[in-house]
Amino acid sequence: MKGGIGVFLDQSSCALLRYLIGLQESETIMKISKELQQSRRKIYYHLEKINAAFPDHVEPIESLPRIGIRLSDSQRQVCRYLLSTIDSYSYIMNMDERMQLMLLYICIARERITLEKLMDLTEVSRNTVLNDLNEIRSRLSKEQYQMTLYVSKSQGYDLACHPLTKIQYIHSLLYSLFTEASKSFVSILEDKVSLFSGCQSLFSKDLAQFLSRQVYGIEKDLGKKINRSEIELMLKILPYMLLTYRNMSLEQEEKDAIVREFALVYERIEYGVAQKISQSLEEQFGLDLDEIEVSLIAVLLLSYRKDRDAHVTSQDFADLKKVVDAFIRHFELHSDFDLEKKEELAHDLLAHCKAMLFRKTYGILSRNPLVDQIRYKYDTLFRLTKSSSHILEEAWQIQLTDEDIAYLTVHLGGALRRSSSRKLTSPTVFLICDEGVSVQKLLMKQCQHHLPEKTISAVFTTEQFKSVEDLLEVDFLISTNEVTDTDLPVIQVHPILDFDDVLRLIHFAKYRSLTDSQKGFAMELDKLLASYVENGQEALELKQRLQNLIANELLASLASSDLETDLY
């Protein structure tokens, strides 16, 4: 490398690297600037840093006049290597990341937090830390948590708020970090927090592995299957939540008040399971949890989404079931959609809403990463779901966000009756999806709509697929995951199919191959529309209408072609 300048690549440099690696066609600096929301000057600055890290035998990345940038194979290979070498020693945190790290440290550290310790933690100057702290105060004043950052000689830096509010905030912060932050920053966070927190035992690999092994027993005792991605997040977040609680200096009266806040939890089976986990932790690691800490574990178990719940038919939830049934009836009465297997739908919705109510009660965040795709791809279904959601809001005295509505939309979308009566006679197609039962159902409906001539027989998780792979007689596979170790024909798509996915699916179903010309259709359409429509929202709406029109024409064309084949 030329002078080893690659060690100064920061998050923005990494974002540019990822964008360049993904380019299939030449892209101008102006377009890259808009996509990454960075100035052109910044893009050129990061290009200089990236080029400085290139080996001598590989030509630097240059933007050609009126053409832009497109990486050669050798440049793309070097860029991938640079990304793979970014670690906690070479990664430079931006302001947002420094603030997140400081807030996390302030919440969980048991020692007095001084300015010097924050400087050591973030590895920046005194003035930079002071500016970051001022920005933290400003942002906290605008958030819903009603927290104030203060400093005193006796305690150093700390957050003034209700004890449960601090726990809710730390859960929200960590949920965002573990689902959205770069891998390099998460690596820094985990290394530094473990080192500076003064409690390495809670972050030990042995404890993490032990908790992971407990999952099967937890689900067996609960009679429920927790969404896999959420149980993994829970195991990551739990040590931080316990440390946040232990970092508080609470009087017995304050602890008694928190115990009363958890009254709903003690009636649920999850509390008994949390007690068993606590007992196991004490036996294996000498880790003694008090009643509040056990309750926190129970709250997480109650709040996270379930793929299966054997208890939703119990009498305890009869009133909830009536509300869910009323929501389904309202949706059917006020829409042209027809639902099938409504009892199964009610069962799935009830399991989802039980967890949702506990999340609302205890302020536990659960983000829906597909909300924007669902809102645009299934705009009519989303709006009709939202108009019926007042049934749930009024009955349970809650307010549903667009993310909550999107989850409900997924459940309803997976239960829509197909309007086509086309006879399915072709070989079988199987789906592979680890995103949870509701997303699996919606994915199947999408594939059935766009491939009506195919028999979509089943949806597997990756684990289920590997166990039956040798027994399958299959035309091809459609997967939302990267499946590299199979000899069967497979195409990878998003859980919510975008327009490029639809084109590739139709082509793959016909020819069992992918063509480069189809991979960037949406990108090319963006370029074309940008030349004629200046308003971004209008361009997006026009793009969606064109895509729907083209997709319908392709579908009709494909059906006509198959009919001609059958006739002759």
- The answer to whether 24 and 520 are in contact (CB under 8 A) is yes
Phi-psi region of 268 (alpha: psi -120 to 50; beta: other; left: phi over 0): beta
At residue 86, the pLDDT reads 65
User: Sign of torsion, CA 244 246 247 253?
Assistant: positive
CA 451 to chain centre: 27
Return the higher-pLDDT residue of 164 and 558.
164
Report the alpha-carbon distance of residue 9 to residue 2 in Å, rounded.
14
Q: What digits encode the pLDDT tens for the residues 146-199?
A: 889 999 988 899 999 898 899 999 998 998 888 888 877 888 888 777 666 666
Q: Scan for tokens 């999806």, then name that residue.
A: 433
Amino acid, res. 131: N
C-alpha pair distances (Å), 19 with each of 15, 25, 71:
6, 12, 11
In which element (H, E) is residue 478 found?
A: strand 476-479
Q: Among residues of the chain, what percentage have pLDDT more than 70?
A: 85
**Radius of gyration (C-alpha) of the chain in whole angstroms:** 26
Of 467 and 441, more confident: 441
User: Rounded to a whole number, what is the distance in angstroms from the first to the last CA of the chain?
Assistant: 63
- pLDDT reported for residue 328: 93
Q: How confident is the model at residue 553 (pLDDT cuts 50, 70, 90)?
A: low
**380: pLDDT confidence band, cut at 50, 70 and 90?**
confident
The DSSP string of 23-80 is -SS-B-HHHHHHHHT--HHHHHHHHHHHHHTS-TTSPPP-PBTTTBB---HHHHHHHH
pLDDT at 372: 82
Q: For position 517, what pLDDT does the model report?
A: 43
Distance in angstroms (rounded) separating the CA atoms of residues 119 and 129: 6
**369 vs 108: CA distance, rounded Å:** 27
**CATH 1.10.10.10 spans which residues of the chain?**
5-85
Q: What are residue 339's DSSP bridge partners?
A: 416
The torsion region of residue 15 among left (phi > 0), alpha (psi -120 to 50) and beta comes to alpha
3-state secondary structure of 330: helix
Provide the 3-class DSSP secondary structure of residue 19: helix
Q: Please name the helix (run of DSSP H) or strand (run of DSSP E) that holds residue 190, with its range, or none.
A: helix 183-196
Instruction: Tell whether the model's pLDDT for residue 339 goes beyond 80.
Output: yes
Residue whose tokens read 């645009």: 376
Asked whether the predicted pLDDT for residue 293 surpasses 90, the reply is yes
Each residue of 106-149: pLDDT tens digit?
998 888 899 999 998 888 899 999 999 999 999 998 887 888 99
The b-or-e profile of 38-67 (16+ CB within 10 A means b, else e) is beeeebeebbebbbbbbeeeeeebebeeee
CATH number, domain 312-413, options 1.10.1790.10, 3.20.20.70, 3.10.310.30, 3.40.50.720:
1.10.1790.10
- Please compute the mean of the pLDDT values over residues 49-70 and round it to a whole number: 87
* Mean pLDDT computed over 279-306: 89
Ranking 24-33, 217-226, 341-350, 512-521 by mean pLDDT, the lowest is: 512-521
The whole-number pLDDT of residue 5 equals 39
Q: CB burial class (10 A; 0-12, 13-18, 19+) of residue 206?
A: exposed
Quick one: pLDDT at residue 259?
Answer: 92
Nearest Cα neighbor of 281 from 215, 212, 231, 211 is 211
Task: Say whether pLDDT at 103 is over 90.
Answer: yes
Give the pLDDT score at 524: 66
Q: What is the bridge-based pairing of β-strands 306-309 and 490-492?
A: unpaired
The maximal CA–CA distance of the chain, rounded, in angstroms, is 88
Check residue 405 and give its pLDDT. 93
Show the tokens assigned to 77.
């290979």
In this prediction, residue 235 carries a pLDDT of 85
Give the model's confidence band at 80: pLDDT under 50 very low, under 70 low, under 90 confident, else very high: confident
- Average pLDDT across the chain, whole number: 81
Residue type, 252: Q
Confidence of residue 513 (pLDDT cuts 50, 70, 90): low
- Going by pLDDT thresholds of 50, 70 and 90, the confidence category of residue 375 is confident
What is the pLDDT averaged over residues 257-275?
Answer: 89
The identity of residue 155, as a single letter, is: Q
Using the predicted structure, report yes or no on whether residue 221 has a pLDDT greater than 90.
no
CA gap 560, 272 in Å, rounded: 60
Can you tell me the distance from the alpha carbon of 93 to that of 124, in angstroms, rounded to the nearest whole number?
A: 10
Q: Looking at the structure, give the CATH architecture of the domain made up of residues 5-85.
A: Orthogonal Bundle (1.10)
For residue 262 the two structure tokens come to 């958890």
- What is the reported pLDDT for 421? 37
Q: Is 480:467 a contact under the CB 8 Å cutoff?
A: no
What does the pLDDT read at residue 562?
44
- pLDDT of the residue at 558: 47
Is the pTM here over 0.85, yes or no? no
Helix then strand then coil, in percent of the chain rounded to 5, is: 65, 10, 30
CA angle 190, 200, 286 (to 5 degrees): 135
Torsion of CA 148, 152, 157, 161, to 10 degrees: -30
Q: Name the nearest CA neighbour of 227 among 496, 495, 461.
A: 461
What is residue 323's predicted lDDT score, i.e. its pLDDT?
A: 94
Question: How many residues are present in the chain?
Answer: 568
Separation between Cα atoms, residue 263 and residue 388, nearest integer Å? 31
pLDDT of residue 13: 79
Structure tokens at 130: 């002071």
- Domain limits, CATH 1.10.1790.10, in the chain: 312-413
pLDDT interval class at 247 (50, 70, 90) = confident
Average pLDDT for 422-449: 79
With cut-offs at 50, 70 and 90, classify the pLDDT of residue 365: confident
State which of 190-199, 360-369, 402-411, 539-548 shows the largest mean pLDDT: 402-411
**457-504 per-position pLDDT tens digit:** 889 888 888 878 877 778 889 999 887 678 788 888 999 888 778 888
Per-residue model confidence (pLDDT) at position 189: 84
